[in-house]
């Protein structure tokens, strides 16, 4: 469980959000790759990455049942002598499958059985059925989780074949031919890892040219083996490699080779993106365009209103200044009128006083 929490849980979490993810065990035969991936199915505490992934997926679905709808589909295939075999096919069917690619789907296997499941136990039964058809070489357990019919995440759980050199296997005849095919897949995988690391080390800004470099790598490397072709859309930043090594000194060279491979793999930096249905992506784009168009229209209206408001403010300020001037003039006129009225009053009083004096003089003369 500790290995799962450290190495696999973050990948599964991302897949449930709509990203592609890959988890595979790498190392020589006998170092526990299959046990790492499957574990002891009879003991819960000793179960490997694959059954723990099953439980994790459906635990997550159970917690999100109220606001999301999930559809989980499972496929199980094997790469044997660079040929694809459907491990869920019955009666010898599902041989020599072909890898195809579509713009709206990505890389997929034509006619590969994909079964809808509703529980971890159903997935477990499918894996047990597929294991009976295995030749114990590279095997994929492909899980696709769709939620809300908007985004979908694809999880590859890969049990790789042994990475030891042919000279140490003692293989001959058909087994030697099988070993050569295995080495082709693993060496191509190593070349892809190196190419993806080289993208990081380039002096050209990675985010601007990542699509170009990964496309170039796809032309040169991804198509050279069925293994890398299948993993094309999930190799890189959203993948985890578990390096299995042997403790014996006899395995020194193979252990060193495995650690060198792991050291290269850890330096990959890809920009992962959520997978969306093209129609949903187009709808989302249309919504964004409509939103920004409406935002721009509102901005134009507000800007026009603001300019009009500023103009009215200036006009109001000018009228206020004019009114203040008029009021000041009125106050001056009022002051002048008050002064004139006072002077007139004094003149009237002087005339009245003169009249009184004249009357008094007249009376004295009579």
188 is in an annotated binding site: no
Please tell me the least confidently modeled range out of 41-50, 170-179, 347-356.
170-179
Separation CA 161–CA 156 (nearest Å): 15
- Say what the pLDDT of residue 83 is: 85
Q: What is the pLDDT of residue 29?
A: 81
Residue 30 annotated as part of some ligand binding site: yes
Q: Which of 2-16, 167-181, 298-312 is predicted least confidently?
A: 167-181
Average pLDDT, the chain: 77
User: In percent, how much of the chain has pLDDT > 90?
Assistant: 3
Least confident residue range of 7-21, 160-174, 205-219, 224-238 = 205-219
On whether 33 is known to bind a ligand per the annotation, the reply is: yes
Degrees, nearest 5: CA angle 77-80-83: 80
133-147 mean pLDDT: 59
Q: How far apart are CA 120 and CA 126, in angstroms?
A: 10
In sign, the C-alpha dihedral spanning 163, 166, 170, 173 is: positive
* pLDDT at res. 56: 92
Question: How far is residue 56's CA from residue 107's CA, in Å, rounded to a whole number?
Answer: 25
Tens of pLDDT, residue by residue over 250-291, are 888 888 888 887 887 777 665 556 665 556 666 667 787 888
130 is in an annotated binding site: no
Find the length of the chain.
Answer: 366
Consult the annotation and say whether 32 binds a ligand: yes
What is the separation of C-alpha 337 from the centre of its chain, rounded to a whole number of angstroms?
83
Tokens 């136990």 belong to residue: 121
Is residue 28 a known part of a binding site?
yes
Whose CA is closest to 139, among 34, 257, 12, 4?
34
Annotated binding residue at 27? yes
Place of tokens 């009249």: 355
Dmax over CA atoms of the chain, in Å, equals 173
For the ranges 191-195, 196-200, 294-298, 317-321, which has the lowest average pLDDT?
Answer: 196-200
Dihedral through CA 333, CA 334, CA 336, CA 337, nearest 10? 120
């Amino acid at each position: 469980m500790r290995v799962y929490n450290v190495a696999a849980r973050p990948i599964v979490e991302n897949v449930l959000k709509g990203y592609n993810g890959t988890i595979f065990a790498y190392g020589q035969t006998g170092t526990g790759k299959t046990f790492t991936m499957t574990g002891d199915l009879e003991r819960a505490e000793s179960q490997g990455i694959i059954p723990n992934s099953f439980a994790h997926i459906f635990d997550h679905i159970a917690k999100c049942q109220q606001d999301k709808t999930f559809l989980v589909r499972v496929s199980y295939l094997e790469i044997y002598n660079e040929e694809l075999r459907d491990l869920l096919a019955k009666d010898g069917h599902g041989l020599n499958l072909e890898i195809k690619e579509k713009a709206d789907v990505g890389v997929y296997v034509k006619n590969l059985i994909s079964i809808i499941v509703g529980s971890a136990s159903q997935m477990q039964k499918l894996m047990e059925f597929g294991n009976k058809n295995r030749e114990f070489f590279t095997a994929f357990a492909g899980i696709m989780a769709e939620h809300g019919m908007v985004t979908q995440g694809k999880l590859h759980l890969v049990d790789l074949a042994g990475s030891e050199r042919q000279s140490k296997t003692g293989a001959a005849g058909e087994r030697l031919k099988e070993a050569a095919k295995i080495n082709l897949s693993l060496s191509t995988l190593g070349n892809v890892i190196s190419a993806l690391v080289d993208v990081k080390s380039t002096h050209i800004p990675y985010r601007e040219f990542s699509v170009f470099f990964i496309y170039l790598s796809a032309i040169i490397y991804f198509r050279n083996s069925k293994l890398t072709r299948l993993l094309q859309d999930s190799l890189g930043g959203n993948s985890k490699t578990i390096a299995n090594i042997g403790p014996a000194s006899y395995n020194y060279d193979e252990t060193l080779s495995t650690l060198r491979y792991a050291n290269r793999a850890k330096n990959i930096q890809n920009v992962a993106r959520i997978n969306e249905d093209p129609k949903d992506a187009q709808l989302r784009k249309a919504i964004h365009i409509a939103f920004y168009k409406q935002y721009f229209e509102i901005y134009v209206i507000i800007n026009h209103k603001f300019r009009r408001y500023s103009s009215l403010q200036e006009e109001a300020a000018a009228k206020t200044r004019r009114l203040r001037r008029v009021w000041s003039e009125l106050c001056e006129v009022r002051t002048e009128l008050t002064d004139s009225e006072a002077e007139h009053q004094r003149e009237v009083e002087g005339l009245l006083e003169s009249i009184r004096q004249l009357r008094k003089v007249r009376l004295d003369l009579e």
